[in-house]
Chain A
Amino acid sequence: MIVAGIDLGSTAIKLALVEDGVLLWHKAAPTAPGQEKIANALLAEGLSALGRAGEGVKKAVTGYGKNLMGGAEFAIDELSANCLGLFRQSGGQARSLINIGGQDVKVIQLTAQGAMSDFRMNDKCAAGCGRFFEVAARILDTPVEDFGALAATVAEPARINSTCAVFAESEIVSLMAEGVVKEKIIGGLHESVARRIAGLCAGRRLRDDVYLDGGSARNSGLLRALEDELCRDLHVLPLPQFTVALGAALAHPEA
């Protein structure tokens, strides 16, 4: 039986199809009104890609929108799903994880058995999360996917004080007006977000191994900045955006 892990996030909807604990297929789509429809379309697409269209599946939902999904017999909170997904993917190595989502940042501690032992989240303000980079990308007219490579080209990034998407906009604009190159600004954005996330980790006594996941984990520039700020190595797994969806599927009693 295929289990579909559906993570209805604030910026993206992620689907992971799992059978016997193995990830078969995954795909993400941007969040938009009609989340249930989008999720079901993803599911249909996945099943036909696997050549098993029309087959019955078990659904496990998680994320902010989990209550919007009708017809799912199993729901789990995203922190627990995140723990499970990451712990399995890391082969039981993960003891701490930092998840940078669209609207929030989570710092979670895991036990040796993979259970969540402690966590901290940012306040209701979404400063410094995935959405922040999307706004910056729009202003800089540069796709987020290129941020890592661009930031790697400069040694001295610009200083950016705000992690608020609204205030950073004017800061970026004035830096651009001063003639600061895009690469330096991007480097500065990574550093300011890393500072904020490190503040959230303070006192959390991060234990090795620490993993970074969530969509923004694909940004190698942010990863480097965060490693420098935390003074430790962070691991990023191949599909950081899908950890939570995978965890939800694995948490399903029939998975």
Chain B
Amino acid sequence: MNSSATERTATPPPDRKQRLRAKITRETAAEYAEAARSLRAHPDYNAVWDNFLAIIEQPQSARQIERRTARPVVEHLCNQAPLEIAHALGLQPLRLASGCCAASRLADASLPALMCPLMRSTLGMRALLAADDESNAAATLRIIPTTCDWTVKFPELAGESDKTRAHFLELPHLRHSERGQARFQEELFILIEELEKTAARRLTRAALRASIDLYRQAWAVFAEFIALRRDGRLAAVWFMVVCAAFMADTVEHWLAAAAPILAHLQKESRRVVGNAVFVFLSGSPLLFPNLKILRLIEEAGLYVLADDLCASERLWPGGLTISDPSFSGLIRALAGRYHRACQCPTFADNQRRFNTIRASGLRPRGIIHHVLKGCHPFDIESLTMEREAAKAGIPFIRIETEYSPEDARTLLTRLEAFAHIDQGAMK
């Protein structure tokens, strides 16, 4: 240390690493605050939305959620592990996925340059929040369905500082084959064993049934939000808020918070202005607080009528009908719902996803396919999607981007032009 430095500061300068961490912490907080601010400045904002905003406007560690919900947190990567099982065991399922751009910087040094921004941010956020926890262990268990390579390699990427136990839920990548379904069912029984260990109690049929009922109720509410969206009355940014709150809180609290919002929307919400172009949004997930794409879509005069993003409309498969209320019958139903209904592009047999969009009774005037740079499964599917869109005569645009806002202007140019593509010409 040189003498002039000691003269300048009375106290020794903090360690550079800590300074960087403090800076990223500030930037992360600012990013969340800006997202919340822009939502509160949105023309469709109403004070009832604070119910949800209060849940999501700050990043929260698993510990914080644990303290708030009084339930041990089990982190879920992706959405193939049934939430009902964790819930029935008194655990709090927490979807591990971050949309924060600033937080990804904390993970940058150790990670590959070309990497899924979602995983980068999630790793960064994990590192950021873990430091705030005395125990330095975010959650006791992390369920990792074997979807894409980034997901599977999450524990490796997280490195040795990560003390959370990983449980791999092996995902058969063929859904429409009986053996794939049978294997997934077996996987669920193994998962249950693991979760029972974490919860230190047995999963009972009654508890599972009650959880299924509760999530059914949640889906009923969720479906009402979807219905408002279909009706042109719920902008995409708000739908993201609905989903983000669901991912960050207990289902009971979410239901309580949703009720007044839904009541307000059903009574008061206005339909989107007449000349907005209704589009279908597909591709890589979009996560709070990253509102970039959704805001640009809105700015370009487009309205998201529907989407098939796994952190949005496809957040969780929703309510299920049970024909066999025995324990194994319930597990079979959950397995069917979480496996067969999932539209993750890591599945080999995903034709259905395209058909749904192509022949959609929704008749979108365009398809926006969002690809996160480094997200190969969705990138590959964009080719099929484009072909299917052409067959159906629906204009298609592929938006490749990262979390960083630097490309906002060029994306806006594209989206504005997309809004003016001649419909008749496609046919």
Give the interface segment out of A116-124, A136-144, A155-163, A193-201.
A116-124
- Given the interface pairs A123-B400, A124-B410, the reply to whether A77 lies near B416 with Cβ below 8 Å is yes
**Nearest CB to that of A78 among chain B residues?**
B413
Least distance between B279 CB and chain A CB atoms (Å): 16
Contacting pair A116 B424 (CB below 8 A): no
**Chain A, 108-126, CB within 8 A of any chain B CB:** 111, 113, 115-119, 121, 123-124
Q: Is the interface of B mostly helix, strand, loop or mixed?
A: helix
Question: Which residues of B341-377 have CB atoms within 8 Å of chain A's CB atoms?
Answer: none
Interfacial residues of chain B within 386-427, with CB under 8 A of chain A in the complex: 395, 400, 406-407, 409-410, 413-414, 416-417, 419-422, 424-426
Q: How far is the CA of A118 from the CA of B419 in the complex (A)?
A: 11
Query: Does A79 have its Cβ within 8 Å of any Cβ on chain B?
Result: yes
Q: How far is the CA of A119 from the CA of B395 in the complex (A)?
A: 10
Q: How far is the CA of A77 from the CA of B426 in the complex (A)?
A: 20
Number of A-B contacts (CB under 8 A): 46
**Interface flags, A65-81, vs B, CB<8A=1, else 0:** 00000000000011110
C-alpha gap A116/B400 in the complex (Å): 21
Given A104-B410, A124-B410, A80 contacting B425 (CB threshold 8 A): no
Assign chain B's interface to a size class. Answer: 10 to 19
Contact A117 B414 (CB under 8 A): no
CA distance A116 to B413 in the complex (A): 14
State in angstroms the CA–CA spacing of A121 and B421 once bound together.
14
**Which residues on B sit within 8 Å (CB–CB) of A78?**
413, 417
Taking CB atoms, residues of chain B closer than 8 Å to A167 are none
A116 B410 Cβ-Cβ under 8 A: no
Asked if B406 contacts A124 (CB within 8 A), the reply is yes
Chain B positions within 8 Å of A113 at CB level = 422
Q: How many residues of A contact B (CB 8 A)?
A: 16
CB distance from B369 to the nearest CB of A (A): 13
Q: Is the Cβ of A80 less than 8 Å from the Cβ of B420?
A: yes
B417 CB contact (under 8 Å) in A64, A77, A111, A124: A77
Cβ-closest chain A residue relative to B404: A124
Given A117-B425, A121-B414, also A77-B409 (CB < 8 A):
no
Hey, which chain A residues are within 8 Å of B407, CB to CB?
124
Interface pair A79/B420, CB less than 8 Å apart? yes
Contacts of B420 in A (CB 8 A): 77, 79-80, 116
A80 close to B417 (CB less than 8 A): yes
Cα distance A104–B421 in the bound complex, in angstroms: 19
Give the chain B neighbours of A115 by CB distance below 8 A.
422, 424-425
- Please give, as numbers and ranges, the residues of chain A lying within 8 Å of B413 by CB-CB distance: 64, 77-79, 104, 121
> Which of chain A's residues have a CB closer than 8 A to the CB of B424?
111, 115
B417 touches A119 (CB 8 A): yes
A77 — which chain B residues lie within 8 A by C-beta? Answer: 413, 416-417, 419-420
Q: For the complex, give the distance between the alpha carbons of A190 and B424 in Å.
A: 37
Q: Convert B13-39 into 0s and 1s, putting 1 for each residue whose CB lies closer than 8 angstroms to a CB of A.
A: 000000000000000000000000000
For B410, the chain A residues whose CB sits under 8 A away are: 104, 121, 124
Residues of A within 8 A of B422 (CB): 111, 113, 115-117
Distance of A119 from chain B, by nearest CB (Å): 6
Tell me whether B406 and A116 are in contact (CB under 8 A).
Answer: no
- How far, in whole Å, are A77 and B425 apart by their CA atoms in the complex? 19
For A111, give its contact among B406, B414, B425 (CB under 8 Å): B425
Residues of A within 8 A of B426 (CB): 117
A117 adjacent to B421 (CB under 8 Å)? yes
Which residue of chain A lies nearest to B425 when distances are taken between CB atoms in the complex? A117
- Nearest A residue to B396 via CB reads A118
Measured CA separation A27–B81 after assembly (Å): 63
Query: What residues of A have a CB within 8 angstroms of the CB of B417 in the complex?
Result: 77-80, 116, 119
- Chain B residues with Cβ below 8 Å from A124 are 406-407, 410
How distant is the Cα of A117 from the Cα of B420 in the complex, in angstroms? 9
Closest to B390 in A: A118
Determine how close the nearest CB of chain A comes to the CB of B113; give it in whole angstroms. 15
Nearest-neighbor residue (CB-CB) of A108 within chain B: B417
| A residues near B395, Cβ cutoff 8 Å | 118
CB contacts (< 8 Å) of A104 on chain B: these are 410, 413
Please give the distance in Å from B198's CB to the nearest CB on chain A: 44
Q: Which of B395, B409, B417, B419 has the most CB of A within 10 A?
A: B417
Contacts of B400 in A (CB 8 A): 123
Min CB distance, B422 to chain A, in Å? Answer: 3
Task: Please provide the chain A residues from 51 to 101 with a CB less than 8 Å away from any CB of chain B in the complex.
Answer: 64, 77-80
Closest CB in chain B relative to A77 CB, distance in Å? 4
**Considering only CB atoms, which chain A residue lies closest to B301 in the complex?**
A77
Tell me, in angstroms, the Cα distance from A184 to B222 when the chains sit together: 64
Residues on B with beta carbons closer than 8 Å to the beta carbon of A118: 395, 421, 425
In the complex, what's the smallest C-beta–C-beta distance from B71 to chain A, in angstroms? 43
7 A-B residue contacts at CB 8 Å?
Answer: A64-B409, A77-B419, A104-B413, A111-B422, A111-B424, A117-B421, A121-B413
10 smallest A-B Cβ distances: which pairs? A115-B422, A117-B425, A79-B417, A77-B416, A124-B407, A111-B425, A80-B420, A77-B417, A117-B422, A124-B410
- List 9 additional contacts besides A77-B420, A119-B417; criterion CB under 8 Å: A64-B413, A78-B413, A79-B417, A79-B420, A80-B417, A111-B422, A118-B421, A118-B425, A124-B407
